[in-house]
């Protein structure tokens, strides 16, 4: 701890980075009944805290190492941090990025003077190529998180927080990807203010640190979610795992809807748009307050970055109301007869605002409607379900059903009487020009596609929903095809939302 404390206090980050403000969020503080402070790392020159660690590492290299240049593998903020540091110090920089990296991030790295090498469909493939180049060129590799100097650079955030708020401080919420930021912050706080709780926050589908801490050793995730791409790490660092095991008090997991809600809360508080990873800490803070029912405390959330793809804002807006527990989604079965829809809307929905309403005639026995409603809280959501049941309406709460939220709410058409022996699968494939066509080509022509839905969501991966007619004798061959495809997939044939609407 003392070694890291010294490294933090002697860091050279301010030759490139700036001291960012710790701003109170009055609206959030009022609504959450706690004093909420936001650490604005989105105001760094590259709009992310990553500049601190990257610059501190490069600035401490020897003259010989600087002469050979620096190299890194990254699809986002670390790439810009290394490129910015290299430009400031007059050093050659090479950044290996996945081919799927959005053009805006590639352009930003090139604008900082770095050479960009595009390789692979994901970070792992880019990192492997980066290591090959290190061996071939002798350039110095700048790790995004598992390096003492990088961790120390990120730890300067904690030094600023303590100077900017010397009074009461109960907890600091920190996003976790590889663990560099929280390692530096936790080590600093536990040396000087050990009573302050350090709480990490991870997405439920990129929770490598939480799982590692629970099991007592580092784990490698089979796959990671890509919505919060800035923290999409399959394996945390050896150093960062050790720091977190010693100094971090707790790790909270949040889902995509809660992340979207936090992006909106950040915008309302600061009029800035946080990237999903940048809003992680606030999402965890809100969940912590809600679960623990705490009041009157001083809580800090670190807004770690604002490199948001503009195309992703549509998706964020659509998922925000569910994340704020202000929208509920239901499948409701009503009689297929004249006046049934009118009665449903008039007598049951009443004064509630309808946010979504999808219906298509599928049979004369009953009609299945997909409806979204504005609600005040989860109690009202449960009360509406009970009200429907009391009136004789079968209903299914789809608010937490990801298939319904990602695909079915955008699909109107009803069931097909012609589809036979149909199975339903979701696929994730690299989102780059021509990717959808290549994906369809790889499916081949052995089985008939009976259903297909794809919608651009502004992420690094596309999401496709496919229905296929698979003859009884072809299941084994179909499974071999799935295993050889190389894409992440999930079967949804038994999902009740599919059975009702598709």
Could you list the active site residues? 50, 304
Nearest alpha carbon to residue 333 among 372, 355, 365:
365
Three-class DSSP category at 23: strand
Angle at 147 between CA 208 and CA 259, to 5 degrees: 35
CA pair distance 108, 98, nearest whole angstrom = 15
Nearest alpha carbon to residue 387 among 376, 398, 397:
397
CA pair distance 225, 231, nearest whole angstrom = 9
Residue 343 token pair: 């009665």
The residue written with tokens 């999930």 in the block is 490
Nearest alpha carbon to residue 36 among 266, 354, 274:
266
Give the Cβ contact number of residue 482 at 10 Å: 14
Give the Cβ contact number of residue 156 at 10 Å: 25
Do the beta carbons of residue 266 and residue 39 sit within 8 Å? no
DSSP code string of 446-479: SSEEEEEEE---SSSEEEEEEEEE--GGGHHHHH
359 forms bridges with which residues in the sheet? 369
Give the Cβ contact number of residue 163 at 10 Å: 10
Residue 201, by phi and psi: left (phi above 0), alpha (psi -120 to 50) or beta? beta
Nearest alpha carbon to residue 284 among 251, 314, 313:
251
Do the beta carbons of residue 340 and residue 77 sit within 8 Å? no
CB neighbour class for 468 (10 Å; exposed up to 12, middle 13-18, buried from 19): buried
Do the beta carbons of residue 421 and residue 469 sit within 8 Å? yes
CA pair distance 36, 265, nearest whole angstrom = 12
DSSP code string of 215-252: HTS----S---STTGGG--SS--HHHHHHHHHH--EEE
């Amino acid at each position: 701890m003392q070694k890291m404390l010294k490294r933090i206090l002697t860091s050279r980050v301010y030759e490139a980075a700036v001291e960012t403000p710790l701003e109170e969020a009055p609206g959030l503080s009022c609504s959450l009944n706690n004093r909420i402070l936001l650490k604005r790392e989105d105001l760094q020159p590259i709009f992310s805290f990553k500049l601190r660690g990257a610059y501190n590492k490069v600035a401490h290299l020897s003259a010989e190492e600087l002469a050979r240049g620096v190299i890194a593998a990254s699809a986002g903020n670390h790439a810009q941090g290394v490129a910015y540091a290299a430009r400031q110090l007059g050093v050659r920089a090479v950044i290996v990025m996945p081919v799927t990296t959005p053009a805006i991030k590639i352009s930003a790295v090139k604008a900082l003077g770095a050479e960009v090498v595009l390789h692979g469909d994901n970070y792992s493939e880019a990192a492997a190529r980066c290591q090959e180049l290190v061996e071939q060129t002798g350039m110095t590799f700048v790790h995004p998180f598992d390096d003492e100097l990088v961790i120390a650079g990120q730890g300067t955030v904690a030094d600023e927080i303590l100077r900017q708020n010397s009074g009461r401080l109960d907890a600091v919420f920190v996003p976790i990807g590889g663990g560099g930021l929280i390692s530096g912050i936790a080590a600093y706080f536990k040396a000087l203010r050990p009573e302050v709780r350090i709480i990490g926050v991870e997405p439920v589908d990129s929770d490598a640190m939480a799982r590692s801490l629970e099991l007592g050793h580092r784990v490698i995730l089979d796959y990671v979610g890509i919505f919060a791409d800035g923290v999409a790490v399959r394996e945390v660092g050896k150093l960062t795992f050790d720091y977190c095991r010693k100094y971090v008090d707790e790790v909270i997991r949040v889902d995509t809807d809660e992340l979207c809600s936090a992006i909106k809360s950040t915008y309302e508080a600061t009029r800035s748009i946080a990237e999903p990873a940048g809003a992680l800490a606030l999402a965890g803070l809100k969940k912590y307050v809600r679960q623990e029912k705490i009041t009157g405390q001083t809580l800090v959330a670190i807004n770690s970055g604002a490199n948001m793809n503009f195309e992703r804002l549509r998706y964020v807006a659509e998922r925000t109301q569910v994340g704020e527990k202000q929208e509920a989604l239901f499948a409701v079965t009503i009689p297929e007869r004249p006046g049934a829809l009118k009665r449903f809307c008039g007598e049951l929905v009443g004064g509630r605002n309808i946010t979504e309403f999808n219906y298509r005639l599928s049979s004369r026995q009953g009609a299945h409607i997909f409806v979204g409603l504005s609600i005040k809280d989860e109690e009202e959501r449960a009360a509406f379900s009970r009200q429907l049941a009391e009136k004789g309406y079968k209903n299914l709460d789809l608010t937490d059903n990801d298939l319904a939220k990602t695909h079915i709410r955008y699909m109107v058409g009803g069931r097909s009487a012609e589809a036979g022996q149909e199975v339903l699968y979701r696929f994730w494939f690299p989102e780059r020009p021509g990717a959808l066509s290549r994906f369809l080509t790889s499916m081949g022509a052995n089985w008939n596609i009976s259903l297909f839905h794809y919608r651009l969501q502004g992420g690094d991966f596309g999401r496709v929903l496919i229905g296929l007619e698979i003859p009884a004798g072809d299941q084994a061959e179909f499974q071999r095809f799935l295993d050889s495809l190389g894409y992440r997939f999930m079967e949804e044939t038994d999902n009740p939302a599919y059975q009702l609407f598709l």
